[in-house]
């Protein structure tokens, strides 16, 4: 067990970005204090420690704040180096892992929200096609990155596992709310098997919220977003 070095995570349970910080710390076996952010209104601590974006998560280590989930995960990996490497050792493999992390966050995951917000069957069909095209790419990426192992990281949970894994709860919520089967075991067998594996992984299980709690939260959030967009 790593000595407690005054490590804190400021966050909220529904956030996949917050989950990433906690999964990484769990993998490194680093003890930390979880500070639940009030969100509405945003706490003094959040506004002071992340003045630029005012967003969670914020990682505190020896009093220093670190923001942005991908930057936090890399910081954790580069600080606690003797346990469970998260990014691959080889620079090319690292570049590929970083590429997929950005793809998942910037290109693939936003399609889920688009699907939920779509108003017509045509719109939904078009977005669904994009979601499946992305899942196909990730199925292929699993082979290339994983090199035959059980994880994107190969033999151990790695960077892309954390990045994509943290979205799984919300992907399942989208599937339940919309009826769209995204991680279809027939279409994407490796990805579907990997998803089950990730959710059962100790470092992830302890911070992944319970599905019904997420469904409730998701429904409230969706209603709020739809009201806001129709009010425009």
**Binding stretches for another protein (CB under 8 A):** 52, 61, 64, 66-68, 71-72, 74-75, 78-79, 91-92, 94-95, 98-99, 102-103, 107, 137
Among 133, 214, 122, which residue's Cα sits nearest to residue 175?
A: 214
- Cβ 79 to another protein, closest distance in Å? 5
E runs forming strands in 98-177: none
- Cβ 202 to another protein, closest distance in Å? 25
Residues 6+ apart with CB under 8 A from 216: none
- Cβ 114 to another protein, closest distance in Å? 18
Q: Which of 70, 199 has the CB closer to another protein?
A: 70
What 3-state class would DSSP assign to 33?
Answer: strand
C-alpha Rg value of the chain to the nearest Å = 18
- Cβ 149 to another protein, closest distance in Å? 20
E runs forming strands in the chain: 7-11, 33-36, 58-61, 64-67
223 vs 232: CA distance, rounded Å: 15
Q: Which of 61, 150 has the CB closer to another protein?
A: 61
Q: Residue holding tokens 């080889």?
A: 90
Q: Which of 38, 143 has the CB closer to another protein?
A: 143
196 vs 218: CA distance, rounded Å: 21
User: How do beta strands 7-11 and 58-61 pair?
Assistant: antiparallel
Q: Which of 27, 208 has the CB closer to another protein?
A: 27
Q: Which of 85, 209 has the CB closer to another protein?
A: 85
- Cβ 111 to another protein, closest distance in Å? 14
Residues 6+ apart with CB under 8 A from 139: 188, 189, 190, 191
- Cβ 219 to another protein, closest distance in Å? 30
Please report, for the chain, how many H helices and E strands are present, in that order: 11, 4
- Cβ 64 to another protein, closest distance in Å? 6
Q: Which of 91, 148 has the CB closer to another protein?
A: 91
Q: Which of 136, 205 has the CB closer to another protein?
A: 136
């Amino acid at each position: 067990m790593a000595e407690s070095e005054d490590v804190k995570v400021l966050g909220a349970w529904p956030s996949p970005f917050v989950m990433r910080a906690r999964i990484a710390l769990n993998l490194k076996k680093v003890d930390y204090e979880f500070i639940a952010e009030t969100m509405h209104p945003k706490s003094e601590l959040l506004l002071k420690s992340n003045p630029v974006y005012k967003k969670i998560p914020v990682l505190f280590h020896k009093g220093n704040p670190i923001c942005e989930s991908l930057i936090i995960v890399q910081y954790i990996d580069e600080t606690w180096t003797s346990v469970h490497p998260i990014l691959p050792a080889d620079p090319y493999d690292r570049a590929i892992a970083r590429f997929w992390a950005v793809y998942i966050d910037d290109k693939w995951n936003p399609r889920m929200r688009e699907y939920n917000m779509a108003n017509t069957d045509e719109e939904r069909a078009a977005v669904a096609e994009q979601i499946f095209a992305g899942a196909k790419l990730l199925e292929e990426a699993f082979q290339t990155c994983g090199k035959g192992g059980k994880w994107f990281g190969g033999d151990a949970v790695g960077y892309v596992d954390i990045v994509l894994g943290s979205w799984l709860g919300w992907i399942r919520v989208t599937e339940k709310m919309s009826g769209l089967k995204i991680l279809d075991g027939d279409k994407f067998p490796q990805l579907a098997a990997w998803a089950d594996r990730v959710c059962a992984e100790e470092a992830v299980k302890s911070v992944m919220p319970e599905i019904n709690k997420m469904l409730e939260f998701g429904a409230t959030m969706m209603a709020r977003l739809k009201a806001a967009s129709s009010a425009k």
